Amino acid sequence: MGIMERMRLDGKKILVTGGARGIGKSVATAFAEAGADLAIVDLDIEEAKKTAAEIATENGTKAIAIKADVTNPQDVDAMIETFLNEYDRLDVALCNAGICINAPAEEMTYEQWKKVLDINLSGVFLTAQAAGKVMLKQGGGSIINTASMSAHIVNYPQPQCSYNASKAGVIQLTKSLAVEWATRNVRVNSISPGYMGTELTLNSPDLKPLIEQWSDMTPVKRIGKPEELQSICVYLAGDTSSFTTGADFVIDGGFTSI
């Protein structure tokens, strides 16, 4: 069997949080193109249903939508239960749900700080923990956490200390889980995207001047496209990455190299 065949995800059952739009939707689409069946998880259930239907129709695979708040342990447990009732097993979890609040540190409220940490870090932990329990019991699986280049550098000019701290936590959480579960065939890795041109980013009038500045600061002189994250996630989801765990993959157009 050649490498392209071994990169396929046929038969795999994959959970994607924050999957209704943006990076989550793009990567979920790639998973389906590679043959996987999916659950698109999002608080916006209507958008999740739309995304799931679109992906299933275009790829001839199965995709369901689940509403869940990843900061709520009961919601996360219910999400896993719904997934297993549909698919019986969980092969891959992309823990992708996240937010960013730009506020100067001296003005940031505790509520703002807590909201970002709850979703970006605690939400990843709860999802990875719940998925990990299933994977440990069934004998293996792959967890992919969405971190950020913001875990490696401090973004400028926008003030976002809570986001940066949360994403740095995601990377260390990823490494910790990877080491704990390494001998039990559950792999845990993270991706660290740079500035990405999602639909939300590109259509925000507030971000337009920042996009120009970000592009100028990036060595390749542009921001990334969500589809440029697809191949690394397909690799991490599949069996060809069997020796890859505890790693963070930076996809940032060279931003963190300078």
Residue 258 lies in a domain: no
Q: How many domains does the chain have?
A: 1
Q: Domain containing 8 — which CATH number?
A: 3.40.50.720
87, 163, 190, 192: the catalytic one is: 163
Confidence (pLDDT) at 73: 98
pLDDT in tens, 112-171: 999 999 999 999 999 999 999 999 999 999 999 999 999 999 999 999 999 999 999 999
Residue 207 lies in a domain: no
87, 150, 167, 195: the catalytic one is: 167
Q: What is the pTM of this model?
A: 0.97
Residue 216 lies in a domain: no
* Residues ≥6 apart with Cβ < 8 Å to 27: 16, 94, 96, 226, 229, 230, 233
Q: Is 148 a catalytic residue?
A: yes
Residue 130, domain extent: 3-198+225-251
Could you write out the DSSP letters of every residue in 20-78?
SSHHHHHHHHHHHHTT-EEEEEES-HHHHHHHHHHHHHHHTS-EEEEE--TT-HHHHHH
E strand or H helix that includes residue 254: none
- Mean of pLDDT values over 60-80: 98
148, 150, 162, 190: the catalytic one is: 148
Residue 147 lies in a domain: yes
pLDDT in tens, 227-253: 999 999 999 999 999 999 999 999 999
Q: Is 142 a catalytic residue?
A: no
Residue with tokens 């004998």: 139
Residue 217 lies in a domain: no
Q: Is 50 a catalytic residue?
A: no
Instruction: Kindly state the percentage of the chain with pLDDT values over 90.
Output: 95
192 to 95, 116, 123, 229: CA distances (angstroms):
13, 17, 17, 9
